[in-house]
Amino acid sequence: MSSDTPGKLFFKNAVITALFLLLATAVAYLFFRISNNTTNVVILYLLATVLTAKETDGYLPGIAASVVSVLLINLVFTYPYMSLNFTLDGYPFTFLGMLVISAITSTLTAHLKEQNKILQKRDKLLMEAEKEKMRANLLRAVSHDLRTPLTSIIGASSSYLENTGSLNEADKRRLIQAIDDDANWLLHMVENLLSVTRISDQTAGVKTTLEPLEEVVPAAVSRFHKRLPQAQVQVQIPDEFVMVPMDATLIEQVLINLLENAVYHSGSSQPIELQAEVTETDAVFHVRDFGTGIDPQRLGGLFDGDTYSPGESSDSHKGMGIGLSICKTIITAHHGTIWAQNHSDGAEFIFTLPLGEQIYESETDSHSY
């Protein structure tokens, strides 16, 4: 902070105070000449005092404005005009009352302004803490989900290179297939991480546009089938044309992550259900599998990178860490919510996207993909 900052602040406060008082004086004089009534004059100076307290820093400008307002009313709008006179019957009490009211109003306004600054600062700190928590969770997930497929690729490629002469074609194909699977998984994880870079570092938010629900959901399923063509998904979307504020690419990534999670962790080959519905305030997405469900003790930490059960293989590269952490990051940036729960026949992941001022009534249409 530069040494002349207090001087600049004083000058700014003085200019703002003077402008409001001059404006109040000009308007009050006009009213006074028309109606010869000082009631409106007092109200205008009270308004000027409140605006001064609101637009300046600290308590002194508002208090100074209240004192000057009382002096101006006495000088300009009280007989004898253009002369200070506090001895007239009743006026000392009137002016004292106005000064007290103006000072209290100014002080309260300045106090509310200071409180608002404190709340904004606290909200900013909470946002920064949340961003740091998300970064830590992503790094923890990365340490598991990216390290293990790299280890698998190195192991498979080393086995292939060191034993080329003794491996039959089936073994060679098995090793190459393992390398290909792990490389594709790594590519998918990199896509996930790149998705996070679309979120603003300054605001932890995203730029949303109105996107048609009937296009976003099928697009996500289509991208999902490019990776897992054998997986079956039953989709339910509203019959009516619904526009939802979102970053379509990021929401598609969320849907793909949840669908892949259902395939890899449900332990079931039954079709996955993907349902989108619209309430008065939100678009709600459900991804349901019909498998083993989720350990209730793990539900609370699924989206924070705490996704590994004690019995999970340490070399499994299909962990939920990065995928679900990024899902939470994306949905939070959209000001939505995401959670997981068990139903009678498996697990269900749900997330919401606020519609803003839009309200839709819709029915659902079922499709299979």
Q: Which residues lie closer than 8 Å to 29 by C-beta, 6 or more apart?
A: 76, 77
> How confident is the model over 313-362, as pLDDT tens digits?
444 445 555 778 888 888 988 999 999 999 989 999 999 999 976 544 43
Examine residue 193 and state whether it is found in any structural domain, yes or no.
Answer: no
> How confident is the model over 70-104, as pLDDT tens digits?
888 878 887 777 777 766 666 667 667 766 776 78
- The whole-angstrom separation of Cα 189 and Cα 197 is 13
Q: Which domain holds residue 229?
A: 198-368
Examine residue 295 and state whether it is found in any structural domain, yes or no.
Answer: yes
> How confident is the model over 177-187, as pLDDT tens digits?
889 888 877 88
Mean pLDDT calculated for residue range 99-127: 80
Examine residue 138 and state whether it is found in any structural domain, yes or no.
Answer: no
> How confident is the model over 28-71, as pLDDT tens digits?
888 888 877 777 788 888 888 888 887 887 778 878 888 888 88
Same domain, 99 and 227: no
Same domain, 209 and 86: no
Tell me which of 97, 120, 143 is where a domain ends.
Answer: 120
- The whole-angstrom separation of Cα 188 and Cα 266 is 20
Tell me which of 120, 144, 176 is where a domain ends.
Answer: 120
Q: What order of strands is seen across the sheet that includes strand 282-288?
A: 338-343, 346-354, 282-288, 272-278, 233-238, 364-368
- The whole-angstrom separation of Cα 177 and Cα 183 is 10
- The whole-angstrom separation of Cα 81 and Cα 268 is 92
Residue of 106 and 321 predicted with greater confidence? 106
Examine residue 112 and state whether it is found in any structural domain, yes or no.
Answer: yes
Examine residue 75 and state whether it is found in any structural domain, yes or no.
Answer: yes
On whether the CB atoms of residues 246 and 353 are closer than 8 A, the answer is yes
Lowest mean pLDDT among 48-57, 137-146, 263-272: 137-146
β-strands 338-343, 272-278 pairing: unpaired
Peptide bond preceding 80 in cis form (omega within 30 of 0)? yes
SS3 213: helix
Same domain, 223 and 364: yes
On whether the CB atoms of residues 201 and 327 are closer than 8 A, the answer is no
Lowest mean pLDDT among 75-84, 111-120, 242-251: 75-84
Examine residue 143 and state whether it is found in any structural domain, yes or no.
Answer: no
SS3 294: coil
Same domain, 225 and 326: yes
Examine residue 126 and state whether it is found in any structural domain, yes or no.
Answer: no
Number of domains in the chain: 2
Indicate whether 237 pLDDT > 90: yes
Indicate whether 280 pLDDT > 70: yes
Same domain, 202 and 101: no
| Percentage above 70 pLDDT, the chain | 80
- The whole-angstrom separation of Cα 56 and Cα 63 is 11
Per-residue pLDDT at 301:
77
Per-residue pLDDT at 317:
44
Same domain, 205 and 319: yes
Examine residue 147 and state whether it is found in any structural domain, yes or no.
Answer: no
> How confident is the model over 151-171, as pLDDT tens digits?
888 998 999 898 888 888 898
Angle at 303 between CA 359 and CA 135, to 5 degrees: 105
* Structural element, H or E, at residue 73: helix 60-76
Same domain, 244 and 107: no
Mean pLDDT calculated for residue range 226-240: 90
Indicate whether 296 pLDDT > 80: yes
- Residue 202's CATH number: 3.30.565.10
Tell me which of 92, 120, 148 is where a domain ends.
Answer: 120
Per-residue pLDDT at 300:
77
Same domain, 349 and 242: yes
Round the average pLDDT of the chain to a whole number and report it: 80
Strands (E) across 231-322 are located at 233-238, 243-246, 272-278, 282-288
Per-residue pLDDT at 359:
41
Same domain, 99 and 211: no
Per-residue pLDDT at 277:
94
On whether the CB atoms of residues 324 and 261 are closer than 8 A, the answer is yes
Question: b/e for 193-222, b at 16 or more Cβ within 10 A?
Answer: eebbeebeeeeeebebeebebbebbbbbbe
Per-residue pLDDT at 307:
47
Lowest mean pLDDT among 9-23, 181-195, 214-228: 181-195
